[in-house]
Amino acid sequence: MSVTSTLDRFQQRHRWAGLPLAVLYKFFDDQGNYLAALITYYAFVSLFPLLLLLVTILGYALHGNRELQDEVLNSALSQFPVIGDQLRNNIHQLHGKVLALVVGILGSLYGGLGVAQASQNAMNKVWAVPRNARPNPLKARGISLLLLLIVGGGVIATTVLSALTTGAGAYGTNLGAGSRVLTTVVAVAVNALLFMLAFRVMTAGDITIQQVRPGALAAAVLWQGLQEVGTYYVGHELKGASATYGVFGLVLGLIAWIYLGALGLVLCAEYNAVRAKRMWPRSLLTPFTDAVQLTAGDRRAYRSYPVTEKHKGFERVRVDFDQHEGQSEESDR
């Protein structure tokens, strides 16, 4: 027996090895890196208009309370620890004309809806929702507005947690450190809830909260981890880097940070789909050769891909496999 066959048998018999492999295979089958790149593009386009609008609204709503304005803004920018300080120094309020505010609102809506639309497309692709079963353009944009409200709720919750941490620090180092741990745990819980709602709302298929819960929790932990690592990296590795890299550091750091977040989002969604639809274990050599023994997970995955491109309700899609694998068609049902 070859080493490859031994490894294949091992990963198929052990969930902890076979399930991650199946997630990676489906991620590449769905071209998940391109799905994440599309989300990154719209997020990059929308971020500056959204921040400009946020700062402007804060200027009007919290006029005369500069401290509270800074607290809310810092809470939002803390989601981007790698480039948050540079954004803070380059984002300013839109002063004067109402036209500038209207343009800011329209630009923010355009970019924000683009992010939500790209995310919906990614989730529907991951869950193999046929094109004819996806929302029409008007309904899809209504869902996108709902997603923006969910994200806005997350910013408000983060602001409250930030205020609690800041207030707790005044009571001493030990209490402040304990409060930071507590607020981190609460932040993960809040983010997990937001991801659960977002995963469910973004997917047009018939899925349940229970099916998206594991990936949502993983996404929340991953996002918190990205924030912690980014904060540590800035504090220990990038001191004084702003003057050296300037605008290139800002742009590249922002794109990289958004892409990592989008990549994690797509991977966690893939995990939910693979787990819920039992698309594992996969054959180790499936992506590399046609002459392999397809597993039941392979067959379920390959049957789902053409269904995603179904355009009409009266269209019928059937997927058959050659029988040289030595399995009957009913073996994976």
Considering only 17-26, 149-158, 190-199, which range has the smallest mean pLDDT? 149-158
Angle between helices 209-237 and 173-202 (to 10 degrees): 130
What are residue 13's phi and psi, to 5 degrees? -90, -15
CB-based burial, 130-152: b 16+ in 10 Å, e otherwise: beeebeeeeebbebbeebbebee
134 torsion bin: left (phi>0), alpha (psi -120 to 50), beta (else): beta
What are residue 225's phi and psi, to 5 degrees? -65, -40
Q: Is the pLDDT of residue 216 over 80?
A: yes
Residue 199 CA to residue 320 CA, distance in Å, equals: 31
Q: Full-prediction pTM beyond 0.85?
A: no
Q: Place 71 in a pLDDT band, splitting at 50, 70 and 90.
A: low
In whole angstroms, how large is the CA radius of gyration of the chain? 23
203 torsion bin: left (phi>0), alpha (psi -120 to 50), beta (else): beta
Cβ pair 295, 283 in contact under 8 A: yes
- Output the six-digit token pair for 18: 């076979």
Cβ pair 67, 143 in contact under 8 A: no
- Output the six-digit token pair for 34: 């391109």
Number of Cβ within a 10 Å radius of residue 291:
8
Q: What single letter denotes the amino acid at residue 78?
A: S
DSSP-based three-state secondary structure for 55:
helix
DSSP-based three-state secondary structure for 31:
coil
- Output the six-digit token pair for 282: 């996969």
Q: Is the pLDDT of residue 191 over 60?
A: yes
Considering only 158-172, 296-310, 315-329, which range has the smallest mean pLDDT? 158-172
Residue 125 CA to residue 307 CA, distance in Å, equals: 10
Give the start-to-end residue ranges of the domains of the chain: 41-276
The pLDDT tens digits of the residues spanning 34-46 come to 999 999 998 888 7
| Average pLDDT, rounded, for the chain | 78
